[in-house]
Amino acid sequence: MARDEELARERIERADLPNVLRLYSWQPHGVSIGYQQSMDAIDLEACASVGVDVVRRPTGGRAVLHANELTYAVIMRADTGIYRTHNLIVRALLNAFEPLGARRLDLTGGDSNIRTAYAPGTLTNAACFASSARHEATFEGRKVIGSAQRRFGEVVLQHGSILLTKDHLRLPELLRMSEDDRRRMRALLERETATLADVCGRPISIEEAAQAARERFVPEICELLSCQEQVPMALP
């Protein structure tokens, strides 16, 4: 994620540099927190005891457990608004996953807003996937892709976590909260989230999801942008 920020900052003064899509998974697994989120929300001892790293994202949002999921980063120049750019990126991803059987994903989301979700003392203030705001990628109202964006001038850095398995349900065990709140948080995550496997009706591996995104994201976003320029991709 530090490399994602480097790529974004390199493009502030270098308009000639190409747009980039990066796709990666995590080993060891890790928790990332938003760049404005307090580290106090994370139980660092619990993370260390199970070998989970903790990092701060250069983008916003709340805690995400990166375990057997696919993380994406899009670094691109854009003069459109935050939501329009976000929606273009997520819509291109949704279209890219259709050949896997993900035809029931939609860019809808719930009725919550950022201020409500991030209200101090609420469970939704701790974890990204605990709530679905507007402009979310959902399946039957449940969140499948959590995304966060940050602007560096005209350069956009957008991160996202694409759920493939149920491993994200372990996140409450790694947060600094009471056992009662952990139980409530897990129930909330079970109710509010779905995985790409749920959507497709079969397991989807990291490699399969990454290959679909790698092959189809570029033409999909170019079509949505009505542009001819290709977006180079790296798959570390």
CA atoms of 191 and 142, how far apart (whole Å) = 7
Structure tokens at 64: 């995400």
Report the Cα–Cα distance between both ends of the chain, in Å, rounded: 12
One-letter identity of residue 204 = I
Q: Which of 90, 35, 31 is nearest to 60 (CA)?
A: 35
Dihedral sign (CA 33, 168, 147, 3): positive
Is 200 annotated in the active site? no
> Which one of 128, 200, 222, 227 is the catalytic residue?
128
| E strand or H helix at 187 | helix 179-192
Which residues carry out catalysis? Answer: 128
